[in-house]
Amino acid sequence: MLKKILFLIAVLVIFSVVPVKAIELSRPELFFHKDNTLSVTFSFKLDQSQIEEIRQGLTKEYIVYIDLFRYWDIWPDEFITGKKISKSLRADPVKGEFVARSFDGSLRIKKRFKSIDSMLKWVSHFKDLALVNLDTLPEGRYFVKVTVESKARNIPSLISELFFFLPVKEFSISTKSRIFNWPPKGKTGK
């Protein structure tokens, strides 16, 4: 009986391996405004297999984390603040349209598109996204880290709890911005 259970677990592990999806994530560009706010611009690009899955009617959910960290030479970097944006994509073959939903914790947006290209452009481009007011930050060196994740589909919560070694994400990719000093060198005080 024990051999059968171990065999079943081994088969589950072998066939549950999710191939890594190729996704491109641009390096975040930082913009410092006159009112001492920091905003971020970046984009990501899905691979062709993910786009085909959306065209076939599968719902895809992408979670984007934009986090500000304080850089330390010896200690681990210190998390300061962040934003989480959830984007959900699906195709409606009956109506011949594509539907995208976005939620950033306070604002929920639902948009309908005639083409998948226009939907992907809206979902994957983040322009001048306000992150933090720099006046509240202590003096130090900082960077922005952007992470894009895709949830794995069709894994019931009970199964994921019991088989904790099964992957719960299709992919997770991140990139960091350049390190910047606050306040800028040569300026003292606020």
DSSP characters over 67-109: EEEEE-SSSPPEEEEEEEEEEEEEEETTTTEEEEEEE-SS-EE
| Domain-located, residue 47 | yes
The Cα-based distances of 56 to 46, 93, 166 in angstroms read 15, 8, 25
Is residue 91 a part of any domain in this protein? Answer: no
Name the domain count of the chain: 1
Domain assignment of residue 187, yes or no: no
The number of residues in the chain equals 190
In a domain, 12, yes or no: no
pTM of the full predicted structure?
0.80
Tens-digit pLDDT string for the chain (190 aa): 767 676 666 655 555 544 445 588 999 999 999 999 999 999 999 989 889 988 888 889 999 999 999 999 888 999 999 999 999 999 988 888 999 999 998 999 999 999 999 999 999 999 999 999 999 899 999 999 999 998 776 666 666 677 767 677 888 999 999 999 988 776 655 4
Can you give the residue range of the structural domain that contains 122? 25-53+63-86+113-182
| 13 assigned to some structural domain | no
Instruction: Report yes or no: 25 and 173 within 8 Å, Cβ to Cβ.
Output: yes
Tokens (6 digits) for 76: 């681990």
Instruction: Look at residue 49 and tell me if it is in a domain.
Output: yes
Is residue 155 domain-resident?
yes
**Domain with 73 in it: what CATH number?**
2.60.40
Amino acid in position 44: F
C-beta atoms surrounding 139 within 10 Å: 10
